Each structure stands twice: as structure tokens, then as C-alpha cells.
Structure 1
Amino acid sequence: MRAAVTGAGGFVGRHLVARLRSDGWDVVALTRADVDLADPVAATAAVRAADPDVVFSLAAGRAKATPADRAATVAVNTSPWLVDALPDRCRAVVRLGSSTEYAADPRPLTEEAPLHPRGFFGATKAAGSLLLQAAAAERGVRAAVLRAFQVYGPGDHPTRLVPVVLDAARTGAVVALPGSVSRRDWVWVGDVVDACVRAALAADLPAGQVLNIGTGVQTATEELIATAERVTGRPIATAPGAHPGRDWDTADWVSDPALAARLLGWAPTVDLAEGLARTWAAGA
């Protein structure tokens, strides 16, 4: 099997490329250094040259400070050129979406939950998911959208919460916390990668299928820090109210992963304590 992976230099992308290669796939890893995915001509040429059986669409832009930033983020996160770039041999596109495409809800989120994105990033991801579903249906290409909840693990960006918390355990730095309660459904990066691979290989998966990839368990930031203290055996100082919070912060944010279990046979295998321990041991 030959795969093209966009966003291969990102957090999840690096883990996916490693998994595919270990499974014997021929992988074309497309990073920002290889191609500007905001340029439809260059991006189309890169995907066609890769000549893949499967495309894993993991690239994601987040910049939004200027009009140019926002335009580039929209172009990368929607990738309207992608389906037309696929060679005839391509059998599937797996897109890594985001749970921020959904409206906040106190109940576990199913795939039927309304789209009401939280923040600019969520809006662009939702638009990209809808565009992919529509274009793939017209082209007759099987597409799957995996809406991942809060992914963590070794190699994450140092400004994300888990790296910040584990760095504080090492260095004694103080973790700034928002003033309000924030809960997230933390899902191990290896489990997300496994869902991507399963979706690519599931020939009987309905076209355009959306699947939530999470654990079904939500954890408050303070609870995560307490778990990290137990795992590392070190105290972690916090400063409540010192962080302004993020667009997508909410007191309730948890998936219902039942459909992924039914259609893919997928289930999370690593709980938060074990995942934090593995991340700590990896020095990341």
C-alpha cells in the first residue's frame, strides 16, 4: 500500500508515518518544507506525484493574526483542491478533523451533534470536512472524517498543556491555569493513529463517514495535573486565573466513541495515567 500523508511533520503526522512504515506501507511524507498546501497548484502536483492508494489529510493551519494568516489557514484546513488531485488508483481519503467542529454540549458528543465550531480553527476544520465529504461523493472516492478529541503524547508542541505540565514537573515552573473549569477528553496519540489506519483499510466504511475518536472520559485540567504529580512523583505548582483560556475551553467536552467501535472495531487502549507516564518516560 502506498500512502501520502499531508502534515507529516506535525505531531500526529510524525506518529502516523512511523506506524505506517513499521506496518510495511510505502509512505510519501509531505511536510511544510516539501510543499505549500496553501498553494493549490503546488499541492495538487505533490499529491499527484505521490500517486497514493490512500491519502491521510492531517495538515492543519492555526495562524490567524493577520488577513494573510487567516487566508492561508483557510486554504490549508479546507484543501478544496484535494479530491481533484487524487489519481484514479486512490481508494480512500482519511481526514483528521477536530472535535472543535462541534458545539459545546454537556452530554457526550455523537456524530449527529450539531456543527457550531468553537473559534476560527474549528470553523475552518468544519468547512474542510464538509467540502471533502461533498467532493469525494461526486468523485466516487471513499472519504472518512475522524474528529479527534484532545490528542496528547510524546513529541507534542511544547506550548500544549501536557508538555507544559510535564516540563513544570521537571523544572519547578508554575503552570498558569484559566479562571474557569475546563474539561477535555484526552486521547493517546497512538490510539488516534490506529483509528486512522483502520479507517483507511475499512473498505466497507460508508462513504463520507464521520467518526468521533475519543475515550468517552473527560478530565478537568486540575485533575490532569494531579494525575501528572502521581505519575512523575513530583509536585507541580499552579497559578489559577493566570491563563486567559482558549476559544474552545468548556466545562464539558467528551466524546461518544461508540460508532468508531462499531464500524472500525476501534477502542482507546491507553488511559490518561498510562499515557502521561509514557510521555514522561519519553522525555517529552
Structure 2
Amino acid sequence: MSESTDIVTGGAGFIGRALVGQLATLGHRVVVLDNLSLRASREAPVLPPGAELVPGDVRDRSFVQSVLERERPSTLFHLAAIHYIPACDEDPAGCVSVNTAGGASVLEACTRVEAPPTCVVASTAAVYAPAEAAHREDDLLRPIDIYGLSKLWLEQLAELYARRNGLRVRVARLFNVYGPGETNPHLIPSLVDQALAGGVIQTGNLSTQRDYVHVGDVANALVALATPSQGDGIVCVNVGSGRAVSGLDVVDTIAHSMGRKLEIATDVSRLRPVDRPRLLSDPRRAADLLGWRARVSFEDGIGDLVRESLAAGVRI
């Protein structure tokens, strides 16, 4: 990618910070749009040189459009979302407002500027119907929760804008992203935090299998999606490792990285009322179109995460 200005919505979040860092490393100027809702203090995050924070809400179309007109980015990466499923289940209207209406605001703003940017949209594997087999991009889409549904609606909006307005849209269906800097208490950060604190680890259902992909690999995939060689219209790819890992395997991997056995107990309050048994990607389209594949093994990623957490003496 040539030197350019990029906009990253949700750039102060977990995946956003990794993406901003990657873009800055490539020499890009980066403008971060974020309402800082997931930062406890609402303080501005520390951004790398070449990155600037513009606080605001993506649901405000006039605000997004004004930033687009001023910055004239070549690419807009739309990551802003509520993606912690219990939070989405607790406030379905808020989930749809941010994830779907917010996405519509961003897409509409992009069509109203003189030089519309390429839009790279972060979606989720939760749009797929439950299945044992690895998911391909043309599989049946049938979410089982409000989060997946809000992202499916976002994908449908993106397809509409690509078809009706000629917007260049790239959709990344992200599987289970992990790594340093997580902003929500998902399984891996929760287990690592509890393991560092000592005592019995409280867990939910550990029999389910997920496709874990490191946040650094995800940032690389999003950058690859923005390359001009992908042409016009809409392109959709899975971003996953192609490997299913059970919750019990996660516990064992953390224990191995810490060099000690971990004692676990089931906490019924952590059990989800609806949970798919297995979620696995077929990542071949990303490999064929982008030359991308997940390079950080699960064992290496967990090992690095545990070592960084131990060295810092703080929770991840």
C-alpha cells in the first residue's frame, strides 16, 4: 500500500489499536474515530506517531462526513461496535443502534464525499448458521444471537451500498480474536486474569470449540483487504486460523505457559443460554485473494500473552 491517510473507527479498541499500530508502522497517517466508551477513564489512548484521535460517535453521520471531507482518506476501516455478546443480549436496542445504525451512518457518509474511500468493514463469524464443518463465505447465514444479527444487517447494508452506490467494500468475518489489550472479559483474558490472581478458576462451558486468531494476524488481514488489487464492488473473506480449540484446551495451554496446573470449577452464571458447540473457519479465500494466513500459532500467542502479563504484573 502506498503512503496515505486512513480512518479507523473504533481505533481505540482492542483490534483497532493493533490495526492503528500496523498502519503507522507502514508509514500511513491514521485518524482514529472513537467515542472511548470502552475505556474506563474515558481518557485518550496513547497512539503511535502519525496517528490522531478525533473523539465522536459513528452514529452521527454529519460528524463522520465532516471528518471524511477534511481528511480525504484512501481507506476507512470500520471497527466501531459492541461485540461482547452478554452486553448485546442485555441491551439489544443499543447493540443494533451501534452495530447496524452506526454502520449505516458510516457507509452513507462515505457515499456523500467527493472521493469515497474503500470501506473495510469488520463483521463476525457469528453471522453463520451453526455447523460442525468449517465455514466458507457462501455458507448459510443464520445468526443465533442479537450480535450476529446486528452484523448480518450491517453486511447487507454494505452490499446494498456497493451495488447501489458503487462503494468499494471489503467485509472481514472475524472469528475469535485474542491477544494483548483486550477490552472485554472474553474467555481467554478472563482465564489469564484468574490464573495470575491464583485460586480456583471459575469458568462457563469449556466443551465448545472456537477458531482463535491472534489480533496481530487480524490487523494484517484488514490491511491486506484494503489493497487496490481487489477491484470494485464487495469482497468478503473469513479471518480465522482454520483450527478449532476447545475451552479445555485453552485452560491447558495457559497452564502449560505458566508452568503449573490450574484448578477449575463451573460457575453457572457464566453459562450462556444459547451457545454454538463449534465455530471454525475455512480461510482459503483469504489465502487465495490476499495471500494472507494466520501466522501466530495458538500456543505461541497464549505463551506471549501470559509472559507479557506476568512481566507487567497487571491484568490484560
Q: Same fold (TM over 0.5)?
A: yes
TM-score of the superposition, structure 1-length normalised? 0.92
Distance 1:156 1:30 in 2: 18
Which residue identity is paired with 1:28?
V
Q: In the alignment, what sits opposite 2:109?
A: 85
Q: In the alignment, what sits opposite 2:49?
A: none
Unaligned runs of 5+ in 2: 37-54, 310-315
Q: In the alignment, what sits opposite 2:51?
A: none
The answer to whether the 8 Å contact 1:56/1:94 transfers is yes
The answer to whether the 8 Å contact 2:211/2:240 transfers is yes
Q: Return closer, same or farther for 1:172/1:99 CA change in 2, 3 Å cut-off.
A: same
The answer to whether the 8 Å contact 1:99/1:147 transfers is yes
Q: In the alignment, what sits opposite 1:132?
A: 158
Identity %, equivalent residues: 30
The answer to whether the 8 Å contact 2:89/2:146 transfers is no
Q: Does 1:60 align with 2:81?
A: yes
Which of residues 140, 149, 161 is equivalent to 2:175?
A: 149
Task: Quote how far apart the aligned CAs of 1:64 are.
Answer: 4.2
Q: In the alignment, what sits opposite 1:232?
A: 258
Q: Does 1:23 align with 2:45?
A: no
Moved more, 15-24 or 136-145: 136-145
Equivalent position SS for 1:80:
helix
Q: Does 1:5 align with 2:5?
A: no
Equivalent position SS for 1:239:
strand
Moved more, 198-207 or 18-27: 198-207
Task: Quote how far apart the aligned CAs of 1:265 are.
Answer: 0.4
The answer to whether the 8 Å contact 2:9/2:77 transfers is yes
Distance 2:272 2:232 in 1: 34
Render the CA deviation track for 1:46-67: whole Å, top value 9, x for unaligned.
343332110000000254477x
Task: Quote how far apart the aligned CAs of 1:206 are.
Answer: 5.8
Which of residues 123, 134, 138 is equivalent to 1:108?
A: 134
Moved more, 133-142 or 224-233: 133-142
Unaligned runs of 5+ in 1: none
Moved more, 43-52 or 164-173: 43-52
Q: In the alignment, what sits opposite 1:245?
A: 271
Q: Does 1:193 align with 2:215?
A: no
**CA RMSD across the alignment:** 2.0
Q: In the alignment, what sits opposite 2:186?
A: 160
Moved more, 197-206 or 160-169: 197-206
The answer to whether the 8 Å contact 1:119/1:247 transfers is no
Q: Aligned residues, how many?
A: 282
Moved more, 16-25 or 86-95: 86-95
Render the CA deviation track for 1:96-144: whole Å, top value 9, x for unaligned.
1100011110000000111111211111011001101211222222111
Distance 1:202 1:195 in 2: 14
The answer to whether the 8 Å contact 2:195/2:201 transfers is no
Which of residues 114, 122, 146 is equivalent to 1:120?
A: 146
Distance 2:178 2:107 in 1: 29
Task: Quote how far apart the aligned CAs of 1:248 are.
Answer: 6.1
Equivalent position SS for 1:5:
strand
Which residue identity is paired with 2:127?
E
